[in-house]
């Protein structure tokens, strides 16, 4: 999973658990340590993760919603790199303010010291810039991902890249269908989330094949070219990226209308 998207999923899920049910929001990946510094910044001040959560609750925040750009574009090609992929952020619902928090990742290396500085900055949410009010049912997203995983698995076989079907697409499909037990994710979803939401997130994590060297973006494009299936590769890969992003967004946003 792309690290930036993973962190936004953490923020949305753990934040909603805290705002809806008072669940513990602490997580080592959101706390400052020797290789990571996270801050939330607006025109007034900057603060850390748990301080930010407390502050938005005091301001009337009731839910956190993951939003993404609505621009039609093939973002899958850059989705494995810092700053790449579809623009994405979080919106706090309940404050009466139409603002979005978007991340910026900066790598700082000084000698042997390596640090990621991650800053979430509050900005005005421009009309049309993010699908901020788009709610897609879990069933719709799950069905779409199911269809795409089947198609791209068949393509992997056709271009002699069956490894990807065997290790990623087929296991993701089986998790989605409930054939395989839902594996433990790298973070525990708060209890407010349904089993279906958890299954969708796990399927998306398992099926995420985008990155740099050694990813689905690396040798498979050349294999597709050798088998004269470049167009099919690009179409299905774009569909997979959109389906995966749609699934994770739908999953973490599925508690938006849940009462506390």
Q: What is the pLDDT of residue 213?
A: 58
pLDDT tens digits for range 99-149: 899 999 888 876 667 778 899 999 887 655 555 456 788 999 999 999 999
| Mean of the per-residue pLDDT values of the chain | 86
Q: What is the pLDDT of residue 10?
A: 95
Distance CA 149, CA 170 (A): 7
Q: What is the pLDDT of residue 43?
A: 81
Q: What is the pLDDT of residue 82?
A: 63
Q: What is the pLDDT of residue 230?
A: 94
Q: What is the pLDDT of residue 135?
A: 75
For the chain, which residues make up each domain, given as ranges? Answer: 3-124, 138-252
Distance CA 130, CA 66 (A): 10
For 51, 104, 214, the CA distances from 230, given in Å and listed in that order, are 48, 33, 18
Q: What is the pLDDT of residue 243?
A: 93
Report, as ranges of residue numbers, the positions in the chain whose pLDDT lies below 50.
132
Q: What is the pLDDT of residue 83?
A: 62
Q: What is the pLDDT of residue 78?
A: 64
88 backbone dihedrals φ, ψ, rounded to 5° = -150, 155
Fold of 3-124: Nuclear Transport Factor 2; Chain: A, (3.10.450)
pLDDT tens digits for range 158-182: 999 999 999 999 999 999 988 877 7
Q: What is the pLDDT of residue 44?
A: 79
Q: What is the pLDDT of residue 106?
A: 85
């Amino acid at each position: 999973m792309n690290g930036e998207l993973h962190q936004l999923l953490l923020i949305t899920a753990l934040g909603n658990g805290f705002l809806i049910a008072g669940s513990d929001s602490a997580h080592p990946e959101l706390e400052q340590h020797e290789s990571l510094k996270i801050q939330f910044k607006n025109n007034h001040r900057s603060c850390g993760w748990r301080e930010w959560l407390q502050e938005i609750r005091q301001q009337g925040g009731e839910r956190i919603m993951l939003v993404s750009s609505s621009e039609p574009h093939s973002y899958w090609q850059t989705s494995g790199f810092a700053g790449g992929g579809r623009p994405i952020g979080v919106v706090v619902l309940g404050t009466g303010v139409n603002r979005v928090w978007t991340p910026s990742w900066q790598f700082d290396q000084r000698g042997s010291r390596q640090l990621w500085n991650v800053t979430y900055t509050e900005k005005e949410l421009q009309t049309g810039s993010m699908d901020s009010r788009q709610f897609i049912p879990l069933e719709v997203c799950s069905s779409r991902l199911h269809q795409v995983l089947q198609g791209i698995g068949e393509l992997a076989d056709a271009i002699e890249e069956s490894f990807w079907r065997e290790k990623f697409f087929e296991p993701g499909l089986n998790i989605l269908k409930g054939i395989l037990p839902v594996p433990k994710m790298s973070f525990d979803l708060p209890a407010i989330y349904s089993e279906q939401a958890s299954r969708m997130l796990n399927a998306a994590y398992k099926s995420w094949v985008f990155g740099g060297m050694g990813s689905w973006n690396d040798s498979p494009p050349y294999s597709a070219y050798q088998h004269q299936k470049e167009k099919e590769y690009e179409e299905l890969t774009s569909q997979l990226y959109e389906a995966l992003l749609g699934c994770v967004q739908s999953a973490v946003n599925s508690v938006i209308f849940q009462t506390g």
